[in-house]
Structure 1
Amino acid sequence: MEPSTTVSPSFFDRHLYALKALFIVFMVLILLIPASMIQDLIWERQERQKEVTSEITSRWGAAQNITGPVLAIPYTVASKGTTAYVYLLPELLKINGELLPQKLKRSIFNVAVYDAKMQLSGTFSKEALANIDVPAASLRWEQAALLIGISDLRGIDNQVQMTWNGKSYMFNPGVVSTDLFASGIQTAVPLNPADTAAMAGNFTLELGVKGSERISFSPVGKTTMVNINSSWPSPSFDEAFPPKVRQVDDKGFNAAWQIQHLNRNYPQSWAGNKFDIHSADFGIKLFMPAESYQQSMRAVKYAILIIGLTFFIFYFIELSQRRAIHPLQYALIGLALCIFYTLLISISEQLNFVLAYVISSGLTIGLITIYTASAYKSSRIAAGIGSTLVLLYGFIYVIISAEDQALLMGSLGLFIILAVIMYFSRKIRWDNLSQTTTPVN
């Protein structure tokens, strides 16, 4: 009788699952290459959107900034013999207006534009001039001009005419100096320093401007009061000051600001370009809810998480069911996960991001679930995979939607995922993994 011999498993057999784990890590890293290419695609689409936006705004009008009115009084600099300007801001500035919005579409891109109809009114007082270091005798009151800064003059859609103390003044393009703003309109308002009543008089003017995406104001009044209403349902109030009163619903918004001179970092009068008059600007952005590229880019950044976790889910199924998955099947599943992002980008260009995310993730999860059911010949395993992917994609959406709490939620979510993996992996008999497994066809 011949003695029995025991054939020792080969190195490959003894370390099969360790090698498979290394292969999975390698596949995850390889699939980051198409994920990086998808990021390049998003950048390309963003640049195309910027080109379309620039083309539309160049014809309609860019984002508008309204500054003023400001009273500019020339004087002669004795040491240089040159002309400079003293700037006097209004005691009271009121702006009441309405934004008439619309969406202009070019190709698949939309740009929010508006036609703003505004009334500006207020008063000036020469008392603020007592705080400047310019001799009163050098001021050339008869050459005084009233300036209004408008960032894009192409958007002006009415002939601006001002009433000051019962007299009408017509505005002309250009500014006497670029100390305060680069572009705007002006009108000569000859003043007599001895006529206190004329300096303290009221002004009123109608201003209509077209612009796109944003409109902002400079709080040049000692007290600045702005009231804007519009039918746009999704405004964004940003920059230096939020509205004191706001009302937003699906029919539009109404916002009111009241700002004092103590809230800004420049005085009521000064000479030259000592201060930045735009440092306290505030305004309204006509927010476009379908800013999908930024959200798509955030989703792609979590590609390694989705691909890695999905692969390791299949890996632990291998360990628990003792049924091996072919490397090619891992590659096909990984490609399906990458195609999710191209679906997300292309669909979100036509629909809103939320709906695009639901459709893209639904198609991807459905494809992988059906493929798993066919590969494993088990609807139970496929249902488990599908349910897990639903939770995973839902988790990723919550993270990319919660900008401020994204780090906290992501950290807690990863901790929970790791805890679940450790819980289920505790039952795996790691010392018996070298035994033969059944391949999945």
Structure 2
Amino acid sequence: METTVAQAWQKSKLFFKALLIGILVLLLLIPAYFVEELIKEREQRQKDAYEEVSSKWAGSQIITGPVLVLPYAETVANVSGPPTILRKQAYLLPDKLTITGDMKPEERHRGIYQVMLYSSTLNISGKFNEIPLKQLRIDASSVLWNEAYVCINLQDPRGLKEEMQLKWNDSLVTLNPSAVNNAVMKDAFIAPVNVSPEGAISFSSQLQFNGSHELLFTPVGKETTVKLSSPWKEPSFTGVQLPEYQITRDGFSASWKSLSHTRSYPQLWKETSYDLTNASFGTGLFIPVNGYQKTMRSVKYAILCIVLTFAAFFIIEMVNKKSVHPIQYALVGAALLLFYTLLLSFSEYIGFNIAYILATVATVGLIGWFIKGVLSSGRLSWLLSLLLVLLYGYIFTILQLQDYSLLLGSIGLFITLGVIMHYSRKIQW
């Protein structure tokens, strides 16, 4: 009778301990949430450092133009009085636009954070064919030829290093910043230009400016060609069109060719408003390792680490008839969570991969030392330490192979479940 009672008590004790461990796992998700918030806070500080440095240099740049603006007068009949004369504007884009230049990266630091900036020199050239007044349905006598102007937009004009000048046929004009507020640009560099109803117009300009993060081009030409080179080895091409490119140990070179039919706006129009930058493309200075993103992804696996470690700990405890207090489980769980704070702090200085190795060594060493004292067994301590090394190595592999993370995760969990099912058979539930 006493044996039966003892067995029943042992089974109920085993059940309640497993239940308590499950509750402990759920409670450990609370500090895991705060670790995620800490990572977000540090990432935001990195963004703030980037914004601070960029504000003193220049932000992302988008080159738009040149656009020729042709004011004209339109007479509207009035039944009750004299006709009304309205002042309107027509917009013409170049028939050919060629941009060539370079992008020189410059590295800055704000505290522990790295900020990539750049300086660029661009040579812009192209031409307007004869102005198609018939296509615009405007009479030549209605055009205010002496009020025609050309406009070019640089998204962050603070980055401009030299006066913006434009060779317009045989004349040289200086473009000045102005709140033009037309249907194409709110702010731009503009200059009055000589325009006649007949004959093509050629233009050329050189822009020297600073920027950060991205350099984008708006394909306003009927045929737009852009060629860009840089000593930066990690370009991040962006926008609606990808270039033909070559990356070597000396940097990269890229070329884009865009035709007007790939855009959402026409080559010429009247009064209608279009957002020309919707068709822009270009490149950014990509910093290869973003430790915050990888650390955040690794925290997503915290529940997996805790559950598998506790499961291994529990099976070792039961199979080897050792007794482990729930507080000791909690201490192991705390060590598992401290892994992520170590990873976060190390990665800010030495990069994610090395930080992951150091955090793994520190965490596994601490838990292995603790388990050796708790179980009074060097063999079991080494066994659990080996399991932790395999677990962290498995997660590290998933983090590196992002495209195959679901496949590797599913296979790994299936194998792990099989191992747990195999060894749990030895437990007398």
For 2:214, the aligned partner's letter is: R
Superposed displacement of residue 296, structure 1: 1.6
Query: 1:326 and 2:325 equivalent?
Result: yes
Contact 1:72 1:144 in 2 (8 A): yes
| 3-state SS in 1 of match to 2:312 | helix
What secondary structure is seen at the aligned counterpart in 2 of 1:15?
Answer: helix
Divergent runs of 4+, >6 A: none
- Could you give the per-residue CA deviations for residues 169-193 of structure 1, whole angstroms, max 9, x where no partner exists? 1111125334223332111112111
CA displacement at 1:291 relative to structure 2: 1.9
Q: Which residue of 2 aligns with 1:430?
A: 428
Look up the match of 2:214: 214
Distance, in Å, in 2 between the alignment partners of 1:51 and 1:164 is 42
* Cα deviation, residue 129, structure 1: 5.3
1:74 is aligned to 2:78:
no
Native 8 Å contact 2:92 2:268 kept in 1: yes
In the alignment, which residue of structure 2 is the partner of 1:205? 205
User: Structure 2 vs 1, CA of residues 163 and 5 (structure 1 numbering), >3 Å: closer, same or farther?
Assistant: closer
Equivalent residue, structure 2, for 1:118: 122
Task: Kindly indicate whether the alpha-carbon contact (under 8 Å) linking 2:184 and 2:273 is maintained by their aligned counterparts in 1.
Answer: no
Q: Kindly report which structure 2 residues correspond to 1:14-413, keeping only aligned pairs within 5 A, or say none.
A: 14-79=11-76, 81-126=85-130, 130-132=134-136, 134=138, 136-193=140-197, 195-196=198-199, 200-244=200-244, 246-413=245-412
Deviates most, 384-393 or 215-224: 384-393
**Cα-to-partner distance string for 1:222-258 (whole Å, 9 max, x where unaligned):** 11111111111211112211112x1123432111111
For residues 90-131 of structure 1, the C-alpha deviation after alignment (integer angstroms, 9 at most, x for no partner) is 111111111111111111111110001110011112455554
CA shift for structure 1 position 6? 5.0
TM normalised by structure 2 equals 0.92
Give the root-mean-square deviation of aligned CA atoms: 2.1
**Match of 1:439?**
none
The alignment partner of 1:348 has SS state of helix
Equivalent residue of 1:70, what SS? strand
CA contact (8 A) 1:144 1:190 kept: yes
Separation in 1, partners of 2:413, 2:341: 25
In structure 2, distance between residues paired with 1:208 and 1:45: 34
Tell me the secondary structure at the aligned position of residue 279 of structure 2.
Answer: coil
How much has 1:218 moved relative to structure 2?
Answer: 0.7
Residue by residue over 1:255-309, the C-alpha shift from the partner in whole angstroms, topping out at 9 and shown as x without a partner, is 1111111222211112234322111111111011232222222211221111111
Cα distance in 2 between the residues matched to 1:130 and 1:325: 91
Percent sequence identity over aligned pairs: 39
- Alpha-carbon deviation of 1:56? 0.9
Q: Please identify, of 262-271 and 63-72, the stretch whose mean Cα deviation from structure 2 is larger.
A: 262-271
Aligned-partner Cα distance in 1 for 2:369–2:44: 37
CA drift at 1:332: 1.0
Q: Distance in 2 between matches of 1:81 and 1:309?
A: 80
User: Partners of 2:132 and 2:408 in 1: how far apart?
Assistant: 53
After TM superposition, the structure 1 stretch with the greater mean CA deviation from structure 2, 78-87 or 17-26, is: 78-87
Other structure's SS at 1:324 match: coil
Q: How many pairs were matched up?
A: 422
Distance in 1 separating the partners of 2:88 and 2:400: 52
* Paired AA for residue 44 in structure 1: E
Unaligned regions of 5+ residues in structure 2, if any? 77-83
* In 2, Cα distance between equivalents of 1:182 and 1:111: 29
Q: Which residue identity lines up with residue 292 of structure 2 in the other structure?
A: Y
Distance 1:280 1:298 in 2: 33
TM-score normalised over the length of structure 1? 0.90
How many angstroms apart in 2 are the aligned matches of 1:13 and 1:151?
73
Structure 1 unmatched ranges of 5 or more: 432-441
